Structure 1
Amino acid sequence: MRAVAARFAPTVHGVGDHGFIALIVAAARKAGVSGYVGDGSNSWAAVARTDAASLVRLGLESAPAGARLHATGETGVPTKAIAEAIGAGLGLPVTSIDPNDAVAHFGFIGGFFGMQGAASSDATRSLLGWEPTGPTLLEDIRAGAYFSLVA
């Protein structure tokens, strides 16, 4: 047996994703505003679902035993930019949410959305020659990947 570990970005995005971004979109719909925590300068690493899938395949086929792979297409997308893309897609105003109110506004995900979640996949790219080619998180949001979902 050859074990390989894969760590995925906080948001693995794309059509059909019901994860963190879908929850943030649902919170925006419920509140009538698209929010970001504090000044929105914290950022989240992201990877397209198709890129994450190709990394898993490549890791299973080629990674050495014990390898730790990071599925990160984008090192860090500012949370304010995420909120702005959601607001534009839903036709909602964008506003800062006080960190003390983040969980009340977003639900449990509010505790995470206000955290710094940047990460790098440089070592993984070097090890396997993996290069993400899918859309960025903001491209997926702007293309409407999250607006027909019922969260």
Structure 2
Amino acid sequence: LKGLAFNDPGGKPMTLADHAGKTLLLNLWATWCAPCRAEMPALDALQKEMGSDAFEVVAVNVDVGDDAKPKKFLEETGVKALGYYRDSTMALFNDLKTRGLALGLPVTMLIDGEGCLIAHMNGPAEWSGPDAKRLVVTALGKSD
């Protein structure tokens, strides 16, 4: 999945390959998606607790249009630890849909440091809960 493309928090184009060596929890979300709104605080908490040189939650907004609405959404949901990644073209979502990985939003993928898919899930989850943390620890090759 190294070629998956979106914009970094500074607005510059990047791909997953730019995160080589780091395990990622890649999440696609939109402001109009109620389950996305519900899980965003948990993704933020996971990044705050477990984010490191080895692991990052990369939550990519896929709303079309400008940045105003997504940034307001993050402010309203109290997100502070997540970087502001963005793809306003929907190309990232459509690429994942073509690969059979995305059925709707949110969609989340666990990707290893080589850019290979470990697991994926459609729909929301409690990303700051013990099961999610164990999944990340296991993906990082650490013991609890």
Same fold? TM cut 0.5? no
From the two aligned structures, give the one with the greater helix fraction: 1
Task: Give the TM-score of the pair, scaled to structure 1.
Answer: 0.28
Comparing both chains, which one has the higher relative contact order based on Cα–Cα distances under 8 Å and sequence gaps of 6 or more? Answer: 1
